[in-house]
Every structure is written in C-alpha cells, then in structure tokens.
Amino acid sequence: MRTRLMFATLVVVAAVAAVASAQRDTYDLVIVNARIVDGTGAPARAGTLGIRDGLIARIGGVTAAQGARVIDARGEVVAPGFVDVHTHADDLAERPDAANFIRMGVTTIVAGNCGSSALDLSEALQTITDAGPAVNYATLIGHNTVRAAVMGRAQRAPTVVEMQRMKSLVFKGMTEGAVGFSTGLQYIPGTYSTAHEIIELARVASNEGGLYATHMRNEGTALLDAVRESIQVGSMLRMPVQISHLKVDSPSRWGSSAEALALIDDARKRGVDVEADQYAYTAGSSSLSIRFPSWALEGTSIEVAARLNDPDTWARIKREIAQLLSDRGFTDLSWATVATYRANEAYNGLTMKAVAQEMFGRDGPDDQLEAARAVMLNGGASMVYHFMTEEDVERIMRHPMVGIASDAGVVPFGSGVPHPRGLGNTVRVLARYVRERKVISLEEAVRKMTSLPARQFGLADRGEIRVGAAADLVIFDPARVADTATFAAPHAYPVGISHVIVNGVSAVAEGQALGARSGQVVRRARKPTLAP
C-alpha cells in the first residue's frame, strides 16, 4: 500500500513538473528566422526570440511550435524598439496613437525637451496613462516652464525667493517621475537666465539621479562657447549631460562640428558624462520668433506687439535681425520656410521670400523682414530652417557618443507642411546613412537609436535585446527600409518596417498599424534625498 502511495505521489509530482516545464517552454509570441541586432553594437546574428508577459524570456533555442503567436522574420533584422529621447510629444494624451513614431519603429519617447514640459507632471503622466499610449513615455521637467511659472517672461535674474520657488518646482517634477531637467536657452524666458541659475536648478535634478538635457544657448556663431557652458554643468555637478540636436546652423561656421566634438571628447576624458543627439537632416525646425532678438520678446503678447508696432523700436529690431543674419552668413530669410501658420494656411510650405511676394508684391530682404513682422503680429508660425551642411551632419553622426533623435512631436497627419523628420528620422538613418552613404554600420546605427540613449536617460530594461528586457522590438528589411516623407510632401509614412512590438504587443504587423495601445509611462528610478 505504502509503495503504491509513493508511486502515485511521484506520478503527481512528475505531472506537475511536466506542466510547469511546458508552461516555461511556451511563449505568448515567438519570432523565428530573425537576424538579431541587439542594440549593443555587437554584430548581427541569426536567432529566435521567445516573449512572455511583455518581456524577452528567451533568446535562441525557441521553435514556432512554442508560440501562441508566431512571427516569421524571414531573415529581416530584429532590433530593439527605437528610443527617441528628444521629442516634443508633450500632447501625447491628445493623440495617443502616436502613429508617426510607431511607423518609424520608435517604441519609447522622451518629452519635456528644450525647457518646455508640463508643470504638474503627476497629473500629466496620469492623463497619458489613462489615454493608453501606443508608445512608452518619459519626460523631463523644463526650465522655461518652471521659470515662466515663477517669473513670467521677465528679463532679469531671479530673487532669492524666486530661485527657491523654482528649485521646489524642479524637485516636485523629479519626485513625480521626471528623468531629468531640460533647458531651451534660445527660447523665452530661458534665454534670460545665467549659467549660475541653470547650475542651481540642475543641481536639484542631479540630487534626484536625473540628467541635464539642453538646447544650448547658440548652435552656430557661438557654438563652442555653448558646448563649454553645457559641459560645465556636468563637470560641476557630476551629472550626465545630453546636448540636444547637435548641429552647426550657421554657414559662416560650417565645419566647426569637429571642434565641438573635440570638446565633448576632452570632457569625457576628464570624466564628464556628456553625450549628444542629432536628427538626420540638414534643416531644422523651430518658431519664427527665434529669429528675433530676445529683448524684443520680453513680457506679454501685448507688450511684444507694441514693440513691433512702434516705428523706432521696429527699426532697431530689423537692424539687429539683419546683423544676426549677416553674422551667420545669410543675406535674407529665403532659407526659412513656413511649416504651420494658422492665420493663413495658404502660406504653409512657402519660403519667407515667397510670403513677402504674396503680401507685398516684393521679395527683397527688407520685405521679408516686414513679412516676418506681420506673421508675428498674427500669432507667429512654426518654421523649417535650411541652414546646415551635410559634412557636419555626417561628421556628428560618426561620433560614437551621439545618438539619433527626431526633435518632433506627434504629427497630425495631413496638417501643415512640417519637417519630414517627424515621419522619417530613424528610417532615414538606416536608408541614407547606413545603406546608401555608408557613414555608419547597421549595428552602430541601431545602437545609436537604442541602448545609447536608453542608458543615458536611465530607461531601465529598454534599448537592448536581452533576457528580462522589455519586449519592445522593430523588424525591418535593411535592403528596403526607407523614408518617403520629403520637405515638399512630409505626410508620408516610411516603408520597409514590417513589425513593431511594444511591451510584447504588436503595434504594426505586415507594415500596417494596428492601433494597439500597449505603451507605458516610464519613470527614472530615483534616489531619496532632502528637498531643496
């Protein structure tokens, strides 16, 4: 009897073990016939992947029979989902499908860049969570937002009390989940701040384990001074620094990217953790207001309009704009194209030279400035600026500590004539700079779009294909992947991306967006400290 009981017990134990083993050997999704580029820069290798509970559970040794769902990669590249750490998708809750990012293979984005973020991050992150985003979302706390909340658009140094209030807001943002502190030092009111102010506020983020991301004070005529100022923050506070959209935006300074990169290399040798990102185009995008002297934009919109309408003040503004253009190597604004002008959408896609012709029947340099004034008085416009050279773009891209980021928001498909980077940035790198121009290797391009930015921003478990990491993946054909969005016709999705997976859920299958909402809000793990 006892022998039979022991035998029965063993049979039950064996059965339970078999069930457990079977459960361990089955997966929610299996990817077979993959060419794995894991995001670390290591050479591509053939393999299979098993995904369970939104995580990568196994690499290699997996068969199609073990998957509830199966994707046959047919020899295409399987890479970590792209991590875009410089976006302006702060309105993700309003457009949670984020189709332009998903269709580019981007599975994680960072917003709050260039000093502009939500002020109440707790509320903003909850709203995004409730909306159910298609992509993972992290944010920085923005200096311009904090400064405006405390000081408005005042062109002066903060008082002791105002500085303390700003520090408290940065601290609050960090405790609510920000991954760091951002500045936009070419924008109002951030441009009115001193290096001392930036360092004191960045110190708060540093104490919480965050990084400093900066749209520098100058990206052309004083590029090197701006890079030094950025590095100084990291050096003094021993915190990671991310130089946003590194570029040379002035023809008079084209080629100085070599010196800027040398400054970064020197700082890294001294132990400063400084990196950068770039987008893969020779044109940028920003507001029209950035072309105006900062003093002219201080205060309320009524005060700004009064300056633009005062003949003597406007004459001074025009002289300063003309001098700034000359210093940068320009003679007029013909290199500036309207992306979105709500007051008159017929101007979208036109250069300021063409806008002047439409407005006045003349298109000389002074006429273009008068057209810019008229646009500013009617709400302003977002612009596309053709002001870079391919030589600098490629030199910056070759640098191992420069990642790829779009500097784009969630693009409403069909609206305006925006910069094509919002629908093509990542795939343009793979098509133009890897396959066609061979500026960098495929493995290096993937690293620059995955593990490099993910590690710098503290996005744990993103950016690599490894067991235990989030199952954020993109599958593409390296021989066919290409951007189709152009400056003239930017509303076009890329080709060659067959599948995109976010936290184990298919967002794109066979090249078609599925409308899945499996993204998550991602917060940086913080270390406890005292409030400022």
Tell me the pLDDT tens digit for each residue of 351-368: 999 999 999 999 999 999
Of the candidates 419, 375, 179, the residue with the CA atom closest to the CA atom of residue 284: 419
Rounded distance between C-alpha atoms, residue 184 and residue 202, angstroms: 13
Q: Is the pLDDT of residue 202 over 90?
A: yes
Residue 524's pLDDT is what? 78
Tally of CB atoms within 10 A around 236 = 14
Rounded distance between C-alpha atoms, residue 65 and residue 54, angstroms: 19
Which of 3-7, 8-12, 433-437 has maximum average pLDDT?
433-437
CA dihedral 204, 207, 211, 216 (to 10 degrees): 30
Q: What is the mean pLDDT of residues 412-423?
A: 96
Tell me the pLDDT tens digit for each residue of 52-95: 999 999 999 999 999 999 999 999 999 999 999 999 999 999 99
Rounded distance between C-alpha atoms, residue 265 and residue 160, angstroms: 36
Computed over every residue of the chain, the mean pLDDT equals: 94
Residue type at position 494: P
Residue 395's pLDDT is what? 98
Number of residues written out for the chain: 532
Q: Is the pLDDT of residue 189 over 60?
A: yes
Helix (H, G, I), strand (E, B) or coil at 21: helix
* CA-CA-CA-CA torsion sign (449, 455, 458, 463): positive
Tell me the pLDDT tens digit for each residue of 471-509: 999 999 999 999 999 999 999 999 999 999 999 999 999
Residue 4's pLDDT is what? 55
Confidence of residue 525 (pLDDT cuts 50, 70, 90): low
Q: What is the mean pLDDT of residues 24-36?
A: 94
Q: What is the mean pLDDT of residues 97-107?
A: 98
Confidence of residue 24 (pLDDT cuts 50, 70, 90): low
Q: What is the mean pLDDT of residues 422-437?
A: 98
Q: Is the pLDDT of residue 529 over 50?
A: no
Q: Is the pLDDT of residue 37 over 80?
A: yes
Residue 232's pLDDT is what? 98
Q: Is the pLDDT of residue 445 over 90?
A: yes
Tell me the pLDDT tens digit for each residue of 386-408: 999 999 999 999 999 999 999 99
Q: Which secondary-structure segment (H or E) carries 168? A: helix 160-175
Residue 13's pLDDT is what? 43
Residue 426's pLDDT is what? 98
Give this prediction's pTM: 0.93
Q: What is the mean pLDDT of residues 128-144?
A: 98
Question: Which of 62-76, 316-330, 422-436, 516-530 has the lowest average pLDDT?
Answer: 516-530
Q: Which residues pair with 121 in a beta bridge?
A: none
Confidence of residue 10 (pLDDT cuts 50, 70, 90): very low
Q: Is the pLDDT of residue 22 over 60?
A: no
Cα angle for residues 468, 471, 473 (degrees, 5° grid): 135
490 burial (CB, 10 Å; 0-12 / 13-18 / 19+) is buried
Q: Do 423 and 493 form a contact (C-beta atoms < 8 A)? A: yes
